[in-house]
Structures are given as structure tokens and as C-alpha cells.
Amino acid sequence: MYPQIIPEELYEKVRAISEKNKRGKRSIKTVYLLRDKMICGYCGMPVVAESNTGKKREPDRFYYKCKGRKRKLNDCRKASVRKEKLEQIVLDTIMNRLTDKGFMDKFVQDVLAEQEKRSRERSSLQTLLKEQRQNETTLNNILSAIEKGVVNNTTQKRMKELEERQEELERLILIERSKQSAYYSESQIREYYEQVLQAEPQTLINFLIKQIILYDDKIEIYFNTPTTGPDNVRGFLFCRLFL
């Protein structure tokens, strides 16, 4: 409380200013919906938040800017983009296309095709495992031959080859295993996107978008899909917009 020696009118003014500052503090926490999702199409650096923060006044303009350009880490010339405008374009596009039957039919087919491709990769895991088992048997046979004293240069050379191949196979199997994921039906994939559509914008973006590549005249939006594997760094191309 202010001491009552301050006239009533002045007290009101001070209170109003202090209220405004409180609001100002809150408004500094502007939510950048696409933060951490975008990279610059020209230099590959993250695209980060930028505002016209002066020493005295509250920022009233918000942008997304290439970090390379902002921090002068390179000579990238990517232009800043108004935050509201870019977020609106991305959200509108996602909403429009997720509710566009023709677009979604094609998109779901593409996701299914990608899943098929992964499934074929999994069958190459089976081939690798089979070769590993066969090599193991051959190696055991050679070892018992050695125990029986049946050894010659050819046997030793063959054994060395097999051992090297086994090491290689172990690495390849590890890679193939990391690509494994569950198998989804067409209706499950559709259901996934219908559910996501109900979410709040920030949740929708966090959940759906793997990465956005931002150019001055073009935006590429990459989606997480139920079938996207851990090795798929960029995600699945959802759409390419020309500005």
C-alpha cells in the first residue's frame, strides 16, 4: 500500500502504471508457435524469434529471423518474416489441407507407400539375420575341424573372412533394427490426423510438424507421421507453399 500522503488522484495514476507494467511483463512472453521447428532454407541455421525490443518501450512487432543473419554468424541474406503472418499462413494451410479430402487421400497414400518401403527394409533385416546364423554355423564347423587337427591355409583364410563379415553384419543389423516401427492401416493414419485436428494450435504444431524449411519465396512443411522412423530426421514432406 502507498502511504496516504499521496493524493488520491496520483495514487490512481501510479496504480495504473504499475498495472500496465505487469501486463507488459506478461506480454514479453510472446508465444512463437513455430519456434524450434524452422530452419533457414539458404544457410540451414535455425530460424529464431526477433522483436523490435527497444530499451524503453515494449516490443510491438515480432518476427522470425535466420539465426545466421541475426547473430552475423554467416553472410545469409534471408529476410525476416512477420510472426503473425507466417504463423497464419502455416496454420491456415495445415487446417485447409487436413480437411481437404482430395489432398488427404493423396497424402495418406504417400504415407502408406513410405510405410511399405520401410516394411521392405525390414525384410532386409531378415536376410541379414539369416546370413548371420549361417555364418555362425560355418564358423562352428571350422572350429571343430581345427579341433580335429584338420587345418590348412584355406580354412584359416575362410575363417578370417567369416569373422570380419560377422562384425559387419552386427553393425548392419543394428542399423536395420533402428528403422523398425509398427505397421498402421489406412484408417489408423486417417484417424491420427483427424484427432490432431482437434488440438490447440501449439499442440497441433508440436505434434504434427517435424520441420519447416523457410525460404523467401517458398515454405516446405515436413510432418511427423505415425510411420516416421527415428532415423527420418526431416520428416515427411506435407506440402510446399510458394509465397
Q: At its nearest, how many Å lie between Zn ion and the CB of residue 40? A: 3
Task: Closer to Zn ion by CB, 38 or 40: give it.
Answer: 40
Task: Closer to Zn ion by CB, 67 or 118: give it.
Answer: 67
Task: Closer to Zn ion by CB, 65 or 118: give it.
Answer: 65
Q: At its nearest, how many Å lie between Zn ion and the CB of residue 95? A: 28
Task: Closer to Zn ion by CB, 26 or 72: give it.
Answer: 72
CA angle 150, 151, 153 (to 5 degrees): 155
Q: At its nearest, how many Å lie between Zn ion and the CB of residue 73? A: 9
Q: At its nearest, how many Å lie between Zn ion and the CB of residue 81? A: 12
Task: Closer to Zn ion by CB, 70 or 210: give it.
Answer: 70
User: Which cell numbers in the block locate residue 137?
Assistant: 554355423
Compute the chain's Rg from CA coordinates.
Answer: 29
Q: At its nearest, how many Å lie between Zn ion and the CB of residue 78? A: 4
Task: Closer to Zn ion by CB, 13 or 218: give it.
Answer: 218
Ordered DSSP codes for the chain: ---TTS-HHHHHHHHHHHHHHHHHHHHHS---TTTTTEEETTT-PBEEEEE---SSS----EEEEEHHHHTTSS---PPPEEHHHHHHHHHHHHHHHHT-HHHHHHHHHHHHHHHHHHHHHHHHHHHHHHHHHHHHHHHHHHHHHHHTT---HHHHHHHHHHHHHHHHHHHHHHHHHHT------HHHHHHHHHHHHTS-HHHHHHHHEEEEEE-SSEEEEEE--TT--TT-SS-EEEEEEE-
Task: Closer to Zn ion by CB, 78 or 210: give it.
Answer: 78
CA distance 122 to 49: 41
Binding site for Zn ion (CB under 5 A): 40, 42-43, 66, 68, 76, 78
Q: At its nearest, how many Å lie between Zn ion and the CB of residue 65? A: 9
Q: At its nearest, how many Å lie between Zn ion and the CB of residue 80? A: 11
